[in-house]
Structure 1
């Protein structure tokens, strides 16, 4: 984890606290980095997890009270100090105002039993108190409501403030009554001093650097934490030989300079032809945090341009004993050489293996000029190879994406064509449907018009029939009137004829009478006169028959 990637928990003009959460592949580990300007004060907090820390720079004082008794304790802190606090402790930190160097107090801490993965496993003492009801606080302190009001309504101070206490002076201790619990349990044991890695003997020193480890055997404060602390100082062009930790993981912080870390992954084989994950070799610089999991073969290297100093925490420190692969402390020198030679290469004889294993006269910290640079060049080559592979992959992906885009475009085109055809078919169906509807509407209108024409024709026919009947009736009435007229006329004619006949008969009778008289008296009509009279009667009879036939035809 790069320094710039830390999470900021607290930051003001007098200091800051940053945090890192990092995994070793099995567990998560939380680290905090406290930085206090000279003559600054981190106000009291309540620890909710164990804390083990290392003082990197500056000086100051740690004050705390743990759960074993009610006495406040204080220790001075200097660079290289290792110390720890139990969970439940109330603590605060003060940085000294150093007259010459004016270094900031920098403390690197780990919380070994923090399982909730909180980046800040401690809370402000003020927040712990302010959570109670005011009435409860008034009764608990036996003070007035005004006093409680003044206590709780004031603006909360920042967590890091400018120094209140005089530099390098212990606060005056005030005796207070022991609680019922601590009176019975107080062991009156003496406060342990911090363990300083610079003042104690180093575990290993040679011309290439030094290393030391602080465990519970050296510092009892670490006994319950289950972690230890180590510091490694590599001179330019040296390295910690290839090794692994069989019992615990290492969480390291770069204190000074820069270097390179190489960790062999589980899928690695040999340096000549095996696969290695390029992420297993990485450069680190001041402030970076890196972790090497349990069983992970590793080597830390310094560049030729300066020293490389790093410190860190080891889990299961009391039982962990690093196993080195090269140098006088190599595990390869312990077992039968033939067996070990066969384990590495079936064609490697014992003498050749002896030359390889026994050539190195140093142990632990070895000389390795240009190793870091060679690794960096290898990293550069691997990065270049990776870049080429990524470029090739990018081109393949672009080509694949182009093909996919073309296929998608072709599919989209086909789909659009399908949609177009479907839309065209739908449009045609709609047009045909509309045409059918129009045709149906046209037929309906024509049928309606035909029906109306028929109705009108029927109405006209009925009207004509009505008029015909009326005319017929009128004609019949007219005929009846005409017939009646003719009948009356005929009746009149008949009467007239009858009258005329009666008159004629009378005249005939008179003539007959006259003729008889003349005959009687010697006169009479001639034969021609009788023929003319017969002709006249026949004509009259014929005219009457024609008139009757014409009257019958009219009816």
Structure 2
């Protein structure tokens, strides 16, 4: 028995050693391969998931290796004026951020239909499995949305899987596969009516809405024009309308509204307006990132973050949000995120990003521009630098809904400044006076000017002092 126990312990130690070795080798392989690519932490080659004349959804697949604590995909939704992303549900949670334009999102909450209007800067969460639709009701302005896609609940059938509720030949409704007798019983309508319901739509998942477009898209147009309570009222009325003999005009009218019976079955029965108001009041609200006071701001830029304690839907999804603006020639000092992996999207301007491996070697040093997407693994040190000619503006997601609390390694309020003393001096092999002189030279923190700008500013101040010292001598000579 004792020999068996000893053998088991040795086996466990051996397995642990193998796993540790695999982890170390994995990092070493990345270090070796880092010289082969200067874009190791850039997400490239986006996939077009949906594309029609009315809009497009593109997705960049997140990294899921050992060095990433959690995988996220980054999506971009672009919609033309007067367009609709048809009702559906996903196997992944979405967090929407309205980059520009205005949107209206309709969604299910406690089996009821609720709607929210979203404007530029708004953040909104759509949980996995929740039926929703998205519309751009503006006549002349495009809608641009950045979203995070959490695949943790995904079926694994791709980046994510859409289940379209409304649809025809394109997209195909998730209900189309059921046998006719099943759908006839479920809807309590004839097979001919169901055939009209499931054959009208052929323009794709994002459709134009408005009088100038096709008959199929006009079905969605009429729906969007109704008030919220009228939508449910009309759907209930159509469910109760079982007349056998109607004229052709009435048949066409019923056909144009028949798909709403489907929404009725999904979204629930009509209730009193007062109760619906209560549901709308209780349903998740949006939060505007631009209405918040920056967490940090100085002459060189600002940053703002949103976490689960400030917007509760983020707490359930475990996602945080941030936005940073660096003025031309400024930078975020080298820092590390101890709680989360960071995904960033450059929304304006250009600059550089440097990311460092744990062994102190350079993992990536590359230029970034508008539209680029990068990610920084948890614990990895990194720095973003704006170009000298234009600002660097980037928005992003973090894989934790708790306050991120980044650790800035250098600067007036940095980790090194806190650790300043004989121990830190000994670690660098220099005197304590030397380390103090170096660390006290930087008077700015978090967002600072680049060295070139700092030297120019210092030289200007020196020249100004020299000139002031010369003033009395010049006055003496003049008199």
Q: Distance in 1 between matches of 2:54 and 2:139?
A: 15
Per-residue deviation, 1:113: 3.0
* 1:304 and 1:370 in contact (8 A); partners too: no
Aligned to 1:325: 409
Aligned to 1:150: 196
**Match status 1:334 vs 2:418:** yes
Aligned to 1:87: 128
Distance 1:88 1:233, change over 3 A: same
Q: Distance in 2 between matches of 1:328 and 1:83?
A: 36
**Match status 1:106 vs 2:145:** yes
* 1:110 and 1:313 in contact (8 A); partners too: no
Per-residue deviation, 1:307: 0.7
Aligned to 2:116: 75
Q: Distance in 2 between matches of 1:149 and 1:165?
A: 21
* 2:151 and 2:160 in contact (8 A); partners too: no
Distance 1:281 1:197, change over 3 A: same
> What TM-score do the two structures reach when normalised by structure 1?
0.59
Q: Distance in 1 between matches of 2:441 and 2:227?
A: 56
Per-residue deviation, 1:116: 5.1
Distance 1:98 1:142, change over 3 A: closer
The correspondence for 2:316, drawn from 209, 216, 224, is: 224
1:288-437 matches, within 5 Å, as 288-335=372-419, 337-343=421-427, 345-346=428-429, 348-368=430-450, 370=452
The correspondence for 1:5, drawn from 39, 45, 58, is: 45
Per-residue deviation, 1:230: 0.5
> What do residues 129-169 of structure 1 show as CA deviations (whole Å, max 9, x unaligned)?
11211111101111112112222344544111112448998
The correspondence for 1:161, drawn from 183, 202, 207, is: 207
Per-residue deviation, 1:356: 1.5
Aligned to 1:47: 90
Q: Distance in 2 between matches of 1:370 and 1:115?
A: 48
* 1:302 and 1:308 in contact (8 A); partners too: yes
Q: Distance in 2 between matches of 1:33 and 1:169?
A: 28
Larger Rg: 1
> What do residues 196-234 of structure 1 show as CA deviations (whole Å, max 9, x unaligned)?
111121111111111111111111121101110100011
Q: Which has the higher helix share?
A: 1
Aligned to 1:29: 72
1:270-285 matches, within 5 Å, as 276-277=361-362, 279-285=363-369
> Which secondary structure does the structure 1 equivalent of 2:317 belong to?
coil
Distance 1:168 1:199, change over 3 A: farther
> What do residues 362-385 of structure 1 show as CA deviations (whole Å, max 9, x unaligned)?
2111111559xxxxxxxxxxxxxx
> Which secondary structure does the structure 2 equivalent of 1:306 belong to?
coil
Q: Distance in 2 between matches of 1:71 and 1:155?
A: 25
Per-residue deviation, 1:112: 5.9
Distance 1:113 1:58, change over 3 A: same
List alignment gaps of at least 5 residues for structure 2: 1-40, 167-172, 210-219, 237-263, 454-479
Distance 1:303 1:98, change over 3 A: farther
Q: Distance in 1 between matches of 2:287 and 2:368?
A: 27
1:167-182 matches, within 5 Å, as 171=228, 172-174=230-232
Distance 1:179 1:18, change over 3 A: closer
> What do residues 71-94 of structure 1 show as CA deviations (whole Å, max 9, x unaligned)?
211111122111111121111111
The correspondence for 1:197, drawn from 283, 289, 296, is: 289
* 1:54 and 1:80 in contact (8 A); partners too: yes
Q: Distance in 2 between matches of 1:317 and 1:145?
A: 49
Q: Distance in 2 between matches of 1:333 and 1:22?
A: 35
List alignment gaps of at least 5 residues for structure 1: 269-275, 372-555
Q: Distance in 1 between matches of 2:154 and 2:442?
A: 43
Aligned residues: 355
Q: Distance in 1 between matches of 2:401 and 2:381?
A: 17
> What do residues 15-46 of structure 1 show as CA deviations (whole Å, max 9, x unaligned)?
10111112163343222211101111111111
> Which secondary structure does the structure 1 equivalent of 2:334 belong to?
strand
> After the TM superposition, which of the residue ranges 281-290 and 295-304 deviates more from structure 2?
281-290
Per-residue deviation, 1:193: 2.7
> What do residues 248-284 of structure 1 show as CA deviations (whole Å, max 9, x unaligned)?
100111111111100011232xxxxxxx34x511111
Distance 1:317 1:357, change over 3 A: farther
* 1:303 and 1:370 in contact (8 A); partners too: no
